[in-house]
Structure 1
Amino acid sequence: MTDLDQLTQSLARNLKRLRTERGFTLDALAARAGISRGMLIQIEQARTNPSVGTVVKVGDALGVSITTLLDYDRAPAVRLVPPDQAVRMWSTPQGSHSTLLAGTEAPGPLELWHWRLMPGDGSTSDPHPGGTTELVHVTAGVLTLTVDGADHRVPANTSASFESNTPHGYRNDGTEPVEMTMAVSVPAAPH
């Protein structure tokens, strides 16, 4: 079984378990996530490889992190995530990428990411649920952070925080790669 097959199986198993635990029907979760009932069925039956955006929408609707959807493991108080278990979620041919380093439920999803944006590259995100906060720390280059249509320049060794319940994105308008670490905190979904 390939790594992709394992992720697809984990996502299928975890989605069905979490949906059932929360008492959501397929129709209710589909409406809450803004995706089709058919897509949810395909995910639960491990018949599709959904986009990152779809996985994020499902996680937000369930009030759990991507990490929880992809790997449910009741771990000890300290969970080490070796480099080979970090999950690359997005990449471009130019070499830009985002990698989910670690995540937990505390009490809502909390995720730690590493991003690299090559010159001219960028990524946009749909609004997250109300109360979601992102922290960004740029370690190299100059990030152009767009929040609700307004651009903010974030140079190396500078941090930014913002509520991400509005359209937002990350762009590299410079000539050198941007390296950044990001934390995303999503409020727990009401049960």
Structure 2
Amino acid sequence: MPNSSDVLAHVASNVRRHRLALGLSQEGLAARAGISRRTLINVEAGEANISLSGLDQLAEALDATFVELVKSPTAPATDIDEVAWRGATEESVAVLLGSAPAGREAQLWTWALGPGERYDAQPDPDGWHEMILVTEGQLLVEREDGRSELGAGQHCVYSSAQRYSYANPGPVPVRFVRAVTS
């Protein structure tokens, strides 16, 4: 499980970098985002655990995305793996696994494949992406640009504007969640 203090450090440096690139003062950004200057100072110091909606407000004010603010500057958008929220108990946690561009449509699917079953897909139009999260079993995702062997709790994000397939090489059913964006 990723460390929640890492995301605070990423948010701090990303907010500061975007703010400076826009030539905004802390006071100017705080006013633009509708948050207090004190909150912004604490965010940039890596000391404030700002709400998800507060991050959305900052992202909009910075003409950035939520993902651009929370991910490590070196992490690809397809493999973010950052704790973005924690509840009062250890079991309550939200981890942002990956991101893909979207502008027109998003679909959420559940899939199951029996042992030895395979689904072969034709390429989607340019701009379409898939995000897969395996919940049970083993899934093989084969694409023109590579392959991913995934177990329960593992994910992959890729452009679906290529030939790809899902295969269950294991002896038990595989279940996974599929998000499609365009």
The normalised TM-score by structure 1 is 0.47
* Bigger Rg over Cα: 2
The normalised TM-score by structure 2 is 0.49
